[in-house]
Amino acid sequence: MHVADHPLITHKLTVLRDVATPSPTFRALTSELVTLLAYEATRHVRTHEVTIQTPVAETVGLAISEPRPLIVPILRAGLGMLEGMTALMPSAEVGFLGMVRNEETLEPSVYAERLPDDLSNRQCFVLDPMLATGGSLLSAIQYLFERGAQDVTAVCILGAPEGVAAVEKAVEGHDVTLVLGALDERLNEHGYIVPGLGDAGDRLYGTA
Ligand code: PRP
Ligand code: URA
- Residue 43 annotated to the active site: no
CA angle in degrees (0–180, nearest 5) for 115-120-124: 55
State if residue 130 touches ligand 2 by the CB under 6 angstroms criterion.
yes
Examine residue 76 and say whether the peptide bond preceding it is cis (omega within 30 degrees of 0). yes
Instruction: Report which ligand 1 atom has the smallest distance to the Cα of 139.
Output: 14
pLDDT of the residue at 190: 95
pLDDT of the residue at 15: 98
Q: Considering the candidates 68, 147, 177, 199, report the single residue annotated as catalytic.
A: 199
Residue 82: phi, psi to the nearest 5? -65, -45
Cβ count within 10 A of residue 53: 8
Residues 132, 157 contacting (CB under 8 angstroms): no
How many C-alpha atoms does 69 have within 13 Å on its Cβ side?
27
Whether domain 2-205 has CATH 3.40.50.2020: yes
Q: What is the mean pLDDT of each run of 10 residues along the chain (208 residues)?
A: 96 98 97 97 97 98 96 97 97 96 92 95 97 97 95 98 98 97 97 97 89
Give the Å distance between the CA of 132 and the centre of ligand 2. Answer: 6
State if residue 196 touches ligand 2 by the CB under 6 angstroms criterion.
yes
- Residue 186 annotated to the active site: no
pLDDT of the residue at 208: 64
Give the whole-angstrom CA distance, residue 150 versus residue 183: 25
State if residue 99 touches ligand 2 by the CB under 6 angstroms criterion.
no
CA angle in degrees (0–180, nearest 5) for 45-30-32: 65
pLDDT of the residue at 176: 97
The interface predicted TM-score of the complex, written ipTM, equals 0.97
Amino acid at 96: F
Ligand 1 pocket, CB under 6 A:
74, 76-77, 99-101, 106, 108, 128-137, 163, 191, 200-201
112-146, pLDDT tens digit by residue? 999 999 999 999 999 999 999 999 999 999 999 99
Give the whole-angstrom CA distance, residue 199 versus residue 97: 19
pLDDT of the residue at 188: 97
What residues does each domain of the chain span? 2-205
Give the Å distance between the CA of 71 and the centre of ligand 2. Answer: 21
Strand partners, 52: 59
Residues 6+ apart with CB under 8 A from 9: 33, 36, 37, 181, 182
Determine whether the annotation assigns residue 201 to a binding site: no
Strand partners, 169: none
Instruction: Report which ligand 2 atom has the smallest distance to the Cα of 192.
Output: 6
Pairing of strands 96-101, 70-75: parallel
